[in-house]
Amino acid sequence: MTFEAVVEAAVEASVQSDEMRKLRRDLDNASIPDGTKGREVLLGFAMRFCEVMQVEGREPDQWESEFVITAIGALRKGLNRYATTCLKKALTDPAHSEQGVRGHGGTSRQELEQMIAAARSL
């Protein structure tokens, strides 16, 4: 990979799409009920995250996929508030992350969608 390609990839990774920013704002403004209803709302946000990934034509980076997976695990245990925090972290604008923290090559969007579907069936 050339130096120019590395720089271009870094710049691209540091810019959050309008769709992802809107999703984060929606999550920030959402009233998340306790219990099963809140779980379904949060799983809906996780699925919307995957839909935005598909629209953007990219796979989640390591940071995003780890926090979405952690959110799904928290929802399976009934920890809605923790899951909300994890989803917010997954939706953090890369420009606000410590440089080098985000990494590449996380879990694929399709794998995340399968995990979300499995969590919905519980």
Give pLDDT tens digits along the chain (122 positions). 666 655 455 545 556 789 999 999 999 999 999 999 999 999 999 999 999 999 988 888 888 999 999 999 999 999 999 999 999 999 988 777 666 656 676 789 999 999 999 999 98
Joined together, the tokens standing for residue 82 give 């923790």
- Give the total number of structural domains in the chain: 1
For the stretch 35-62, pLDDT in tens is 999 999 999 999 999 999 999 888 888 8
pLDDT at 73: 97
Residue type, 66: E
Residue 68 · residue 49 · CB < 8 Å: yes
pTM of the model: 0.80
Domain residues for the domain of 112 are 3-120
